[in-house]
Amino acid sequence: MNRLKDLRTEHGDKQEDIAKFLGVSTMTISRWEKDKVLSIKHTHAKKLAEYFGVQVSYLLGESDFRTWAEEDFYHTTGYPMNFHNDPSLEDLGISKEDDEEAKNRISETYLRFITDKEKLKMLKSDTLVALRFIESIRNNLRHGIVKPYSYAWEMDKISFQLLDLLERIEQRETELKD
């Protein structure tokens, strides 16, 4: 499933606006919107996801969760998140034991257990190296359009996971600066 057109219209943009933002042609945007599976460069996917305020995996139709907060909340509590502010789990009637377990799982997902800025910096560096490595493999495996379940497609999935991790690392860096 490709969500580019929905996100673009929801955001009030024209194809020309997105094309100019990414430095591609309007025809490219039109083609991407018509494709059932959005197959674009990782840099473009990351820029678009940031622009629309969603996860890369949501943009590509691989996840139904628009943001990390929605996904984390659901996976830790089992409840969908329909809030604009982070609700307390107690407001939802979750027991203290479940609340404590959920807080621990959220802490792990948001990398809150990392308090050393140098360790975080090294993790970011390693993630960038891994991303370049996976993209190199993907580019060597790519031949025309990336077909679902091909090796190139699998490399794309790994790349998007690494991009999501990189985003989490950057969020944690911001938290530690404050």
Torsion of CA 15, 16, 17, 23, to 10 degrees: 110
Mean pLDDT of 53-62: 86
Under the banding of pLDDT at 50, 70 and 90, the label for residue 83 is very low
- Fold for 4-59, please state it: 434 Repressor (Amino-terminal Domain) (1.10.260)
- CA dist 6 → 2, 22, 25, 29, 70 (Å): 9, 17, 19, 13, 19
What percent of the chain clears pLDDT 70, i.e. is strictly above it? 78
**Where are the chain's structural domains?**
4-59, 68-109, 117-177
